[in-house]
């Protein structure tokens, strides 16, 4: 089964590029940019990655992002992630970036997006990995600041497929961002939002009804509300679930308590994603393996998770057909392996 999982073609839809910053690269960038870190060794950094909840993680995550200064830094960060994608057989990825984390430190919006975008383009050319870029607003900041960020993105609209909403969910519900999301939709962008990670199921309803989202990021708290679960199954509203993240941030006590396969069996369009892999203990294959070891999915359930991600992605029907054909071929060759 482990070989099957390693070879399985994968599609990632929930990845914060700043959350893929491994301590090794963090130290390298800190040195070349003359930035001091609160850790003296890589091991000390890794040891500090113990979290009680989302906020305790976010404090460390924003701290780490301080080393990202130049276009080259954003390029190197994204390129390192794409090499991990290649190793994990990720064939398509839709990644988040948090411009406000950087513009607040005086880094130009253009520096951030140019570095990320050039790496994605090189990834497509040299690694054969297709990709899309999603710009997230930090929900602990004001809607006015989100509107300013949207204005900064205007010259780059051809490089951005959607806007998203991340950071502290509790106390910052979807309603706070209704105007900026309406504006983004009018500009031709799609919308997604983190909802029902730590926050209540009502945030999932509000993300759908007020922000018109095409996907819910996380969404695992939907089980609080059986009417919502039935609605998600019927509409096939995708949930980008992040198993290792949920354990690290104590959304579930252990992986054997995770509801991803229950939701899959109920007909929801659930997918597996890595969220912030440098902080949560692994990339796509690691997330699939962790689910496998605790919940023992069948091979067809594992393939269905990629099938769902293709359905939930923002690619054209033609591109989706290409990815589904790759998955069909994989199933024909490996569906019956001993
Ligand atoms: N939740 C909310 N905000 C985030 C996350 C997350 O899992 N990762 C990075 N920013
Ligand atoms: Zn996330």
Model pLDDT, residue 168: 97
Q: What is the mean pLDDT of residues 272-286?
A: 98
Residue 105 reports pLDDT greater than 70: yes
State the sign of the Cα–Cα–Cα–Cα dihedral 123, 34, 105, 62: positive
Show the domain range for 276. Answer: 2-333
pTM across the whole model? 0.98
For residue 147, being part of any structural domain is answered with: yes
Model pLDDT, residue 338: 59
For residue 236, being part of any structural domain is answered with: yes
For residue 338, being part of any structural domain is answered with: no
**The ligand 1 atom nearest the CA atom of 197:** 1
Give the total number of structural domains in the chain.
1
For residue 257, being part of any structural domain is answered with: yes
Task: Tell whether residue 218 is among the known ligand binding residues.
Answer: no
How confident is the prediction for the chain on average, in pLDDT? 97
Active site residue 148: no
Residue 127 reports pLDDT greater than 90: yes
Residue nearest to atom 2 of ligand 1 (CA): 167
Residue nearest to atom 3 of ligand 1 (CA): 167
For the chain, percent of residues with pLDDT exceeding 70: 100
Report the separation in Å between the CA atom of 167 and the middle of ligand 1, taken as the mean of its atom positions: 5
Q: What is the mean pLDDT of residues 8-33?
A: 98
Task: Tell whether residue 166 is among the known ligand binding residues.
Answer: no
Report the separation in Å between the CA atom of 275 and the middle of ligand 2, taken as the mean of its atom positions: 5
Cα separation of 220 and 109, whole Å? 32
Q: Distance of alpha carbon 90 from its chain centroid, rounded?
A: 13
| Ligand 1 pocket check for 18: Cβ under 6 Å | no
Q: Are 306 and 8 in contact (CB under 8 A)?
A: yes
- If phi > 0 it is left, if psi is from -120 to 50 it is alpha, else beta; for residue 94 that is beta
Q: Which of 197, 198, 224, 311 is catalytic?
A: 197
Q: What is the mean pLDDT of residues 195-212?
A: 98
Task: Tell whether residue 296 is among the known ligand binding residues.
Answer: no
Q: Which CATH number characterizes residue 20's domain?
A: 3.20.20.140
Model pLDDT, residue 337: 74
The structure tokens listed for 312 are 């939930």
Model pLDDT, residue 335: 87
**The ligand 1 atom nearest the CA atom of 16:** 9
Cα separation of 271 and 303, whole Å? 10
pLDDT-based confidence at 107, cuts 50/70/90? very high
| Ligand 1 pocket check for 73: Cβ under 6 Å | no
Tell me the pLDDT tens digit for each residue of 140-183.
999 999 999 999 999 999 999 999 999 999 999 999 999 999 99
Model pLDDT, residue 336: 81
Going along the chain, which residue ranges are E strands? Answer: 10-12, 90-97, 130-138, 162-166, 190-195, 215-218, 239-241, 270-272
Tell me the pLDDT tens digit for each residue of 61-102.
999 999 999 999 999 999 999 999 999 999 999 999 999 999
């Amino acid at each position: 089964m482990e070989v099957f999982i390693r070879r399985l073609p994968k599609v990632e839809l929930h990845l914060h590029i700043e959350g893929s910053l491994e301590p090794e690269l963090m130290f390298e960038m800190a040195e070349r940019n003359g930035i001091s870190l609160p850790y003296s060794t890589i091991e000390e950094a890794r040891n500090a990655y113990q979290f009680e909840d989302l906020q305790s993680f976010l404090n460390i995550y924003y701290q780490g992002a301080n080393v990202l200064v130049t276009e080259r830094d954003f390029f190197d960060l994204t390129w390192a992630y794409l090499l991990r994608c290649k190793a994990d057989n990720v064939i398509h990825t839709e990644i988040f970036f948090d411009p406000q984390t950087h513009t607040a430190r005086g880094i130009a919006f253009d520096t951030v997006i140019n570095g990320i975008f050039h790496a994605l383009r090189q990834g497509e050319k040299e690694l054969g990995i297709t990709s899309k870029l999603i710009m997230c607003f930090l929900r602990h900041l004001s809607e006015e600041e989100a509107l300013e960020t949207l204005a900064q993105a205007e010259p780059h609209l051809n490089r951005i497929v959607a806007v998203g909403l991340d950071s502290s969910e509790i106390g910052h519900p979807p309603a706070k961002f209704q105007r900026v999301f309406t504006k983004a939709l009018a500009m031709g962008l799609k919308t997604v939002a983190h909802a029902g990670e730590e926050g209540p199921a009502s945030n999932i309803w509000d993300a759908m009804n007020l922000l018109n989202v095409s996907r819910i990021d996380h969404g695992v708290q939907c089980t609080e509300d059986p009417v919502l679960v039935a609605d998600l199954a019927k509409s096939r509203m995708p949930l980008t679930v992040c198993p290792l993240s949920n354990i690290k941030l104590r959304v579930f006590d252990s992986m054997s308590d995770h509801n991803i396969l229950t939701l899959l069996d109920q007909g929801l369009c659930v997918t597996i994603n890595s969220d912030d892999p440098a902080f949560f203990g692994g990339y796509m294959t690691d997330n699939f393996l962790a689910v496998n070891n605790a919940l023992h999915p069948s091979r067809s359930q594992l393939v269905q998770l990629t099938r769902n991600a293709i359905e939930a992605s923002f690619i054209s029907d033609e591109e989706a057909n290409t990815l589904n054909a790759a998955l069909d071929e994989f199933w024909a060759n490996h569906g019956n392996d001993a």
